[in-house]
Amino acid sequence: MLANFHNRGIVSFFLGFLLCYAVVAAYLRSKCYRDPSSIFFRPESARVLTYSSFRKAQAQKFGDLAASHAIAKWANSTTPELCIGVASVSRQGFSYLKETLGSILEGLDDLERQRIYLVVFLAHTNQSQHEDFREPWLLNMADSLPTYPNDAETVDLVRQLEIDGNYEAHARKQKIDYSVLLDECAKVHPRYTMTLEDDVIALDGWYHRALNALQAATRKTRELGRDSFLYLRVFYDGRLLGWNSEEWPLYVESSVAVLIVEVVILLAFRWRITAMRKALTLPVILVLCGVCTPLLIGLFFAGGRNCMLPKKPGVHLMHQYGCCAQGLVFPQRQVVDHLLPLYRNTEDNHAAVDTFLEDWANSHDSLRWAVTPVLIQHVGGKSSHGAGDQESGSLTDDMPFDYSFEMNDPIKLAKEHKAWIAEMREMNTQ
């Protein structure tokens, strides 16, 4: 009879556990749907451009204003804190450039804008092929609109790469385009150079967050005993930060360690505490360690890494899984000493510029930092080099995307930005 009572107790406990398990699973289903590494991931909901749509509307309005009114630009009496370089290629009738530039500039105080030098390169030998060539808003937004160097050999090479149009040609031409951007930025001797792709949206307050992150990256670099870092990443692809296959041995070891610790603790309680012996029978321990805990571990992994173990806000090393080149900020020393010679002199046509740069960084043991949360979102669904083109330019599952960006609160960001501007103005008056 006691055995039957004890068995009924185990069954009741297990049924209660399953009820709690179902409640937790339902909670994770509602919380983790934005995590692509989660079993609860719902792409149709996670990819909705909520905050990005808000910023795109602001950017469009700013662009329309810039088309007919003079707006603040770099104050050429000072050395810019930041040079932003954006290379843009025609997408055959579709362009994100106006929204990209608008989101960068919209909301900036004149104090901020005057410290930024904006370079926009329409990367065609015949720039009239670009949809936004000579658009009034572009002329008023950009501080510089460079062309390819007045060098017949370079122009002929680029023209041939444009004609070829395959991946190898794109990979080679992209490095030439970046050298044009970096060279144009180098002319004004900025403290940092940021390269952005032409299909991103920046959040309100990106500038002061970038400066704070750069200060943190500089401090952490010195703490590591190094004198410089290669770049600060302001965007990374959230799809690549899940449970990576290379780390599965670590996950298995951690899971086994949890089970071992649990078994040891339960057996110690059973051995040292007499009152626990009746409750912690071997069948109970077997159910707890052999069924309940594995189910909880499985649910933990099912929830997804980004949801269960989100990155803490701040600046972190990111030497792996840092795709792609949507937004990188380089100390100017790195640009002059390494990047410009690297892009100018290479004949590599096998790797796109992001992969090419990562390979070089790995071979030179360069420090690469990333800021969390990201400062920009990739919204491009129509490629500039023939990969994954969409007639409507809509997003697809294979496009780099940060799912947490869409959870930004525009009111909180605006308040944070205004507070920073007020602080800077107060410092300037002292």
Query: Tokens for 101?
Result: 């530039």
pLDDT mean over 125-133: 95
pLDDT tens per residue across span 359-405? 999 999 999 999 999 999 999 865 554 444 434 445 566 678 899 99
pLDDT mean over 421-427: 90
* pLDDT in the model for residue 241: 81
pLDDT mean over 291-296: 94
Question: Is the backbone of residue 365 left (phi > 0), alpha (psi -120 to 50) or beta?
Answer: left
Q: Average per-residue pLDDT in the chain?
A: 90
Nearest to 80 by CA among 111, 126, 58, 40: 111
Percent of the chain with pLDDT over 90: 72
Query: Is the pLDDT score of 166 beyond 70?
Result: yes
* pLDDT in the model for residue 92: 84
pLDDT mean over 301-310: 93
Report the DSSP beta bridge partners of residue 159. Answer: none
Measured torsion, CA atoms of residues 229, 233, 237, 241, in degrees rounded to the nearest 10: 50
Taking each helix axis as running N to C, give the angle between helix 353-363 and helix 167-186, from 0 to 180 degrees, rounded to the nearest 10.
Answer: 70
CB 196 within 8 A of CB 83: no
